Amino acid sequence: MKVGVLVAMEKEYQLLQNLKDDHNVTVRKTGIGKVNAAINTTQLIHDIHPDIIISTGCAGGTTPKLNVMDVVVSQSVAYHDVYCCIEGEQMGQIQGMPRFFTTPHDIVKTALRLKYDGTIHAGLIASGDWFVDSPDKLKEITSLYPDALAIDMESAAIAQTCHIFNIPFVSFRVISDVPTKHDSLNDYDNFWGTVSQNSFHIVQDFIRNLDNRES
């Protein structure tokens, strides 16, 4: 099975260097934001024709029930900054595309069975070109998606690209801050100072379990 792994930032990329020892796994850095994510996803698909694409990195949490270092696995992803103003389309939906891009059920089940020191949650990840650093912006997004667990800047663009090319997709997001719970900017800075590589090793464990997943 050929696996493509995408991360946005150099810090995240460095934490996943050990995956490069597996010849069936290709790790790429996309850069931050939707356009960078979509371009590099398309290039990855063209280069290796993967059987699955994994997006991983950090994200902001939406609820005080989440803690820094928890992991959110995508059951679905959606845009929080899209408005097409077309009859029949909903907020967050691009014309001709589903509003929600879903991860196959067996992939989510495999992710939830992984061993991890923190808590693994499955749910909705909302994406947009906005670094959410205030409770007011978070409230705006959760009013659109009350069920969203995490907010990032790449997952939905990667998921849409995978949807177009008919490739299974999953996003793993390690919670770096929770704007409603703490000082989110300090949490984010401290996250990079104390983050354990074990948080990103969950992706390696997931890949090892892919062939044993259940429907």
CATH code assigned at 48:
3.40.50.1580
Does any domain span residue 24? yes
Residue from 70, 152, 154, 177 carrying the catalytic annotation: 177
Q: Which residue has the higher pLDDT, 19 or 33?
A: 33
Is the pLDDT assigned to residue 195 strictly greater than 60? no
What average pLDDT score do residues 9-33 get? 84
Task: Give the span between the Cα atoms of 135 and 59, in whole angstroms.
Answer: 15
Q: Has 140 been annotated as catalytic?
A: no
CB distance 33 to 81 below 8 Å: no
In angstroms, how far is the first alpha carbon of the chain from the final one?
Answer: 17
**Residue 123 within any structural domain of the chain:** yes
Quickly state the pLDDT bin for 192 (edges 50, 70, 90).
Answer: low
Phi/psi-derived region of residue 104, left when phi > 0, alpha when psi is between -120 and 50, beta in every other case: beta
Provide the residue range defining the domain that includes 198: 3-210
| Mean pLDDT value of segment 25-50 | 96
Q: What are phi and psi of 163, to 5 degrees?
A: -60, -45
pLDDT tens-digit series, residues 58-117: 898 999 899 888 999 999 999 999 887 667 668 888 988 999 999 999 999 999 999 888
Predicted pLDDT of residue 113: 94
Residue 128 has pLDDT above 80, yes or no: yes
| 177: annotated active-site residue | yes
Catalytic site residue from 10, 12, 70, 211: 12
